[in-house]
Amino acid sequence: MEIYVGKITSSTPDGSIDNPFGSIDEAKKYIENINTNEKPEVIIKGGRYHFKDTLRFTKNDKSAVYKAAAGEKVYFDGGIIIDQSLIKKVCDNTILDKIIDEKAKEHIYEADLSCFGIELGKYGARGFRHPYIPAPNELFINSVPQKIAAYPKDGYIPLGKVIDSGSIPMKGDFSMRGGIFGYDDDRGDKWVNAEDAYICGFFANCYADDTIKVESINIKDRTIKLKNPGLNGLKALAEHRWRIVNLLEEIGEEGEYYIDRGNKKLYFYPDCDITNALIQLSVLTSPMISFINASNISFENIIFENSRGSGVYIEGGEGISVNNCEFRNLGIVAVQIGQGITPLPDGLTNCHGVYDHDKIKPQPMSEGIGSWHEYIYEYAAYDGNGGKNHLISGCDIHDIGAGGIMLGGGNRKKLIPANNKVYNTHIHNVNRLDLTYKGAVNIWGVGNVISHCELDDLEGFAVYIHGNDHLIEYSKIHNVAKSISDGAAIYMGRDPSEVGNKIRYNFIYDIKNPHSYDMYGFTAIYFDDNAIYNEVYGNYFYDIVQKGRFFFSTIHWNNGGQTSVANNILIDCYPGLDPNTYDNSYERMHTDETFITRITASPDDLRGVDITDNVWKEHYPYLYDTYTSNYNHTTLYYNNFVCSNQYQNFVDENPSHLNFKLKQNSYLKSKYAKNVNDRVRGIKAEKVMFEEIDFDSIGLLKKN
């Protein structure tokens, strides 16, 4: 049966095509009260549907399909539209005199936001190990994100002079002393009256971004004092850098804006003729749609946009699907599967489980991510109640503030898979505000899948892995890790029980971090800090090149190893494969207190799992043998091909075409390895032939 939603045509809508309900919520309530053997289809007519609160589904909601009417565009909008009548050129000299760029002054517009009755959000501390928080109110013109005013416009300023590193929470100093650093030229003098400015950048680690509010600027000493500490303080090393954001003074280019929260004024320098432009401001902080213990409900062909929060939240339940939707211009993530954690206060935790447990008690929470990252560091077996068999398929996810998808679900204690899946989905440009550890997909729990996706144009990770038995396959990953070093396209680490993950049949290419030349390396796949017993099979790697003082191989370890690396093709990658591993897992399993807890926790202790439990022994016998008998599987390399400027094996010999399908007569097809004992892949004393991978099957599939 079909139920329609659209523009109300009468005072007594009945959901028919000519007399539709005025909102999705009305259609949902109607479905609750009807008896039918058919699965209802809610047809949403084209138009813009504003969300002032979350649309919530629970276990009491019946199975249904909610979809856009054929050929019509449906927008779920989490903000407001600013009418042209509210916009005027800035003529107030007290405002114009603050703006540094003289040429920009004649192009600045303003809009009074007080008539909307909305609470304006602060920019907020954010970045590595900060809680996920809603974005500030963001400006979009014709669906294009505008830039919060900043300096420099592109790139960063070296953090060359540190007067006071500030307190260092990572070392257990919770005195909340903000750092002080120096600046060199008189431009900084002009920021002295900025009321809501933040410093963002990489202050102490090349893998960790930080954003901290400015407390004061001393123009006599040319120093900037921060209100709160950075996690690792401030360090004046070559890789550390900063920029200032969120200040009226720096509106100087097309597309920049600033919101004066105190006076409820928007100031902006448009990047187009705004006469007939769609001008939007994001408002909603909670998810647009929430499913808690709901099942078998789908949304199709919807555009989710213009919100400070996330698009879809899924907790528990089974079979929720989001198909062929577009998520854009959101503040946090597009989709969250699994609960988050109440936010921990900045500066009062070392992010490795050290804080005042009597005063700070993080708890699981619905409809938000919060301090998820810190919690699973301490409680590595937390499962988040992500439900099972949920599907995100055929979607386009882009221009998001703090990552793409949180893909959780599955029970690590009992190794029960969730089979939640991201399929045939393009995720790109999703680090507008938070750069690091907020991947295109953060995957966690047990047995979840990323398949036939394209992940690109990312400042940090494409995939950040926690948990077991995840599958990452048939995906293209490129132009990522643009702002970080000591990182990778696909990253995991710090837990030797997180095993059984498979990375296969992917094409990872074009990774060249410009910042890495002065710091640590970066790589395609990084098994960090004793990550062991995972599988890298049948992948293509191309043009992953780095320079600098500390190189990473294309597949890299920091301790650990004991991985299966087979049947991969590396083309023009420098350096290539590194056959070394750097640690003895048995020793670390018996001496490192964190690892001991994570691998031998009691059944009711969420700080870890028990790899001696029968379920684990049967599933990963090699892990059990390593722990009990000092068994060392080593890192197995076989049937891998590493080449430079050797394109004669491929049908298309021009590498810039990115087509590495093997020729019929390629000698690689006759390669084999003898006497392979690979317990990760279940191979014992066998001859293993090189397997030709169907290169054409990698990446996005055509939609029906």
What's the whole-model pTM score? 0.97
**Mean of the pLDDT values across residues 227-244?**
94
Phi, psi of 473 (to 5 degrees): -145, 155
- Give residue for tokens 């062909």: 301
Helix boundaries (H) for 162-216: none
**How does residue 219 score in pLDDT terms, banded at 50, 70 and 90?**
very high
CA angle at 157 for the pair 154 and 159, rounded to the nearest 5°? 150
Q: Is the per-residue pLDDT at 517 higher than 60? A: no
The separation between CA 492 and the C-alpha centre of its own chain, rounded to angstroms, equals: 14
Asked if the model's pLDDT at residue 583 lies above 80, the reply is no
List the one residue out of 535, 549, 328, 319 whose CA is nearest residue 429: 328
Each residue's pLDDT tens digit, 343-402: 999 899 998 888 888 889 999 999 999 999 999 999 999 999 999 999 999 999 999 999
Angle value at C-alpha 63, between 59 and 68, nearest 5 degrees: 120
The pLDDT confidence band at residue 224, using thresholds 50, 70 and 90, is very high
User: Which residue spans within 376-430 are E strands per DSSP?
Assistant: 391-393, 396-400, 405-407, 421-423, 426-428
∠ Cα 292 294 299 (to 5°):
100
Task: Give the pLDDT confidence score for residue 566 in this predicted structure.
Answer: 97
Q: pLDDT by residue (tens digit) across 652-693? A: 999 999 999 999 999 999 999 999 999 999 999 899 999 999
Cβ pair 12, 36 in contact under 8 A? no
- 603 Cβ neighbours under 8 A, 6+ residues apart: 413, 610
Q: Please, where are the H alpha helices in 277-433?
A: 372-378
User: Residue 545 pLDDT > 90, yes or no?
Assistant: no
Q: What are phi and psi of 226, to 5 degrees?
A: -95, 150
According to DSSP, the residues that pair with 460 across neighbouring strands are none
| CATH architecture observed for domain 54-78+284-484 | 3 Solenoid (2.160)
Distances from the Cα of 327 to the Cαs of 65, 300, 332, 427, 561, in angstroms? 18, 12, 11, 9, 37
Enter the tokens of residue 104.
């920009």
Q: pLDDT at residue 581 above 80?
A: no
- Residues 492 and 507: their CA atoms lie apart, in Å, by 19
Q: How far apart are CA 151 and CA 251, in angstroms?
A: 9
Residue 433: its pLDDT value, please? 98
Per-residue confidence (pLDDT) for residue 126, from 0 to 100? 95
d(CA 362, CA 341): 6
Q: How many CB atoms lie within 10 A of CB 209?
A: 26
Q: Rounded to an integer, what distance in angstroms lies between the CA atom of residue 354 and that of residue 638?
A: 42
Is 290 in a helix, a strand, or coil?
Answer: strand
The pLDDT assigned to 397 comes to 99
Rounded mean pLDDT, 406-434: 98
**Which stretch of 193-207, 500-514, 574-588 has the lowest confidence by average pLDDT?**
574-588
pLDDT in tens, 283-331: 999 999 999 999 999 999 999 999 999 999 999 999 999 999 999 999 9
Q: In this structure, how many other beta carbons lie within 10 angstroms of the beta carbon of residue 475? A: 30
